[in-house]
Chains A and B, each alone.
Chain A
Amino acid sequence: GAVVSQHPSWVICKSGTSVKIECRSLDFQATTMFWYRQFPKQSLMLMATSNEGSKATYEQGVEKDKFLINHASLTLSTLTVTSAHPEDSSFYICSAPRAGAADTQYFGPGTRLTVL
């Protein structure tokens, strides 16, 4: 079946540093990928849509300069949390729809970010 991977699975960093999270579709191409964040005991909130070959589309209230998204290829999207602060600590999950499979969303396992 389709698989989406994320790397790293968890990361701890100091406040003020930048962290890059990768999302890869392993056996299919994805022109679009989605990034979500999830705070403890809350649901997933869509942050942005990553588009291969063009700029990402951000949801209202999400700072594009804070959360840099690059859809580098048809199988890779990256999310960089710049100048991270403790309030950015969260669970970040990506997903990719697989064309021809009713656009079923395949989710990565998530990346837990802790900013000290």
Chain B
Amino acid sequence: KQEVTQIPAALSVPEGENLVLNCSFTDSAIYNLQWFRQDPGKGLTSLLLIQSSQREQTSGRLNASLDKSSGRSTLYIAASQPGDSATYLCAVSMRFGAGTRLTVKP
């Protein structure tokens, strides 16, 4: 059974900082990996999807990488803004990590 772990559980940074969120998974036989953000009391917003054959995906200030051999993915957020404050979730094969709760302070 796939297990997904996200580190750190919470992160607080000042506005403008670049940051990295980590996701690790136990079974490297994956189809794809997806990053989401979730605002309090809301549903999920898909950020990036990386297919198993890809190494990274970029969307605006977001960049996600995938290393299947080591069972890791990272989400890089450049020039963070207060509006980026949310919980970021990593999903692999229908399994979610516990998320990283990000706070960007003005």
Contact = CB atoms under 8 A, between A and B. Distances in A.
Nearest to B49: A104
A43 B44 contact: no
A57 to B, nearest CB: 11
Q: Interface residues of A toward B: which range?
A: 10 to 19
A62 to B, nearest CB: 13
Nearest to A36: B96
A27 to B, nearest CB: 16
A65 interface: no
B46 A107 contact: yes
Given A43-B97, A44-B89, A44-B96, A93 B31 contact: no
Q: Interface residues of B toward A: which range?
A: 10 to 19
B43 A105 contact: no
A108 B43 CA distance: 7
Contacts of A42: 98
B28 to A, nearest CB: 18
Contacts of A93: 43-44
Interface of B: 31-32, 34, 36, 41-44, 46, 49, 51, 89, 91, 94-99
